Amino acid sequence: QITLKESGPTLVKPTQTLTLTCTFSGFSLTTSGVGVGWIRQPPGKALEWLALIYWDDDKRYSPSLKSRLTITKVTSKSQVLLTMTNMDPVDTATYYCAHRDQLERPLAVDIWGQGTLVTVSS
Amino acid sequence: QSALTQPPSASGSPGQSVTISCTGTSSDVGGYNYVSWYQQHPGKAPKLMIYEVTKRPSGVPDRFSGSKSGNTASLTVSGLQAEDEAVYYCDSYSGSSNFGVFGGGTKLTVL
């Protein structure tokens, strides 16, 4: 059974850097075709892709946020980290971790984490 | 890279069918067969309902179906049930960004 869980601060101040951790189980990020991504959702608003990393360390970023984002994987710990610099109140959102298997369900997110709400406020 | 266009709301009575559209461009929806649909109930994480335009993951009722024509993809829910009331999001691969793009979401109300 695949599970993902997000962790990190619930409150950050403007201009600070946010680091979120996705800890997963039930699969390995060394398996061909597998990817883990981050998606966010401001309160009452739509989903937005942020970043995604594949088993071969291929990384994809939202074009509009690319300069602020870094995604990395720690395979030995079954974790994927997302850092977002220069946080602003508009970045207040629920941040979801997501599993993708390019071989089974290409370019779809088949398993989602529960999400973690991050509030940006001074 | 603009979000895909979805109607903000849709509705239908139990037992009826409803179709939700998702309009993009030839660089995303129209150019690739990589459209997914997600269902999100209040306070919950989204759930994959359709991938690769028409395919259903195991466990998703066959009342849910997907299609595409040109730059517009569609999700049809047949035999509406109360539990289908949720927000539905489409997602497509975008060749211009080599990444994904979501729609703005459609709130489906079962009358």
pLDDT tens, B60-110?
A: 999 999 999 999 999 999 999 999 999 999 999 999 999 999 999 999 999
Q: What is the pLDDT of residue B1?
A: 62
Mean local confidence (pLDDT), B22-38: 97
Q: Establish if A115 touches chain B: CB-CB under 8 angstroms.
A: yes
Closest among B104, B3, B32, B89 to A109, alpha carbons compared = B89
pLDDT(A6) > 70: yes
Confidence of residue A42 (pLDDT cuts 50, 70, 90): very high
Residue contact A108–B103, C-beta within 8 A: no
pLDDT(A96) > 90: yes
Cβ pair B80, B14 in contact under 8 A: yes
pLDDT tens, B37-52?
A: 999 999 999 999 999 9
The region that residue B98 occupies, defined by phi over 0 for left and psi between -120 and 50 for alpha, beta otherwise, is: left
Nearest CA in chain B to A60: B99
